[in-house]
Structure 1
């Protein structure tokens, strides 16, 4: 992996780490939230909106829509911030 971002996030009042790994070789992000037993590999070439939609769709299998959107927004911000 070329880059690893580790951020803290509160999910239902439980402190959780979010791991975002960028692999430039295959242009993919691997995003993991171990406290939820959740991970996802996402193509780096997706637009911001498509990237967020992909996150929300997969988070929504575990969480409600509002929390899924909040987490997706945080992840998008962490990935695309300079």
Structure 2
């Protein structure tokens, strides 16, 4: 089952970050992980939009390396709303 919440978050995160967001099923079927790369020159408005998108997740974080800045967000299966 695809998570509408995870894919909606991915769309908002991609738009805010100006990059492609990747959605993957977490190991063991425990929800979804959304990841997006951030540009070094991310503007103030874009930074706020990224933070607002991340706030919708159950967990989120930032990975920094010499090669890239990456933000991630996780959505748990049990936090999904049932279909209507």
What range describes the TM-score normalised by the shorter chain of this pair?
Answer: 0.3 to 0.5
Select the structure with the greater relative contact order (CA < 8 A; seq sep ≥ 6): 2
Whichever of the two has the greater Rg, that structure is 2
Return the structure number with greater strand share: 1
Q: TM-score, normalised by structure 1?
A: 0.35
Q: TM-score, normalised by structure 2?
A: 0.35
